[in-house]
């Protein structure tokens, strides 16, 4: 029974962020991502026909446009944060042990950083700022 009574106590782990703060970020990024993705799609279809907007020259031209770069980077960051936290939440339910939970948290944060870094690199290269 003592072990069972400590079920809640086990959950009181030292973390950088409280779960409520993480979930606040989760919900905010979801709403913000919806907005920026909507703007992104509107840009695809509002300025020129959709097929034309995907032509090489037009795609590269997008990357020369600083406000559009900001939009793409924000999509990348918001979707990565939301998606990887969603993955963390799903994986947390699979097994219950501190090792697994910490492993999942570290891996999802690392995955998120790697994806943001790779996406940012693509944006920089396409912009022409990077070394070819």
Nearer to another protein, 53 or 105 (CB): 105
Residues of this chain that interact with another protein (CB under 8 A) are 1, 4-5, 7-13, 15, 18-20, 23-24, 27, 89, 92-94, 96, 101
Nearer to another protein, 2 or 57 (CB): 2
Q: Least distance from C-beta 79 to another protein, angstroms?
A: 20
Taking the C-alpha atoms of residue 108 and residue 114, their distance in angstroms, rounded to an integer, is 10
Q: Which residue has the tokens 């606040």?
A: 24
Q: Least distance from C-beta 4 to another protein, angstroms?
A: 4
Q: What is the dihedral of CA 83, 124, 69, 85, to 10 degrees?
A: 10
Taking the C-alpha atoms of residue 106 and residue 98, their distance in angstroms, rounded to an integer, is 12
Taking the C-alpha atoms of residue 64 and residue 85, their distance in angstroms, rounded to an integer, is 31
Reading the block at residue 89, the tokens are 């939440």
Q: Least distance from C-beta 3 to another protein, angstroms?
A: 9
Q: Least distance from C-beta 81 to another protein, angstroms?
A: 16
Nearer to another protein, 4 or 131 (CB): 4
101 to 11, 16, 19, 84: CA distances (angstroms)? 11, 14, 13, 14
Nearer to another protein, 3 or 49 (CB): 3
């Amino acid at each position: 029974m003592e072990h069972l009574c400590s079920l809640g106590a086990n959950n009181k782990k030292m973390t950088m962020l409280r779960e409520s703060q993480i979930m606040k970020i989760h919900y905010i990024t979801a709403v913000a991502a919806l907005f920026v993705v909507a703007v992104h799609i509107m840009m695809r279809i509002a300025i020129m026909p959709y097929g034309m907007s995907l032509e090489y020259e037009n795609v590269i031209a997008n990357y020369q446009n600083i406000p559009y770069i900001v939009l793409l980077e924000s999509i990348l960051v918001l979707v990565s944060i939301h998606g990887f936290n969603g993955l963390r939440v799903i994986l947390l339910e699979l097994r219950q042990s501190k090792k697994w939970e910490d492993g999942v948290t570290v891996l999802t944060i690392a995955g998120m950083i790697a994806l943001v870094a790779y996406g940012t690199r693509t944006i920089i290269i396409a912009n022409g700022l990077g070394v070819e």
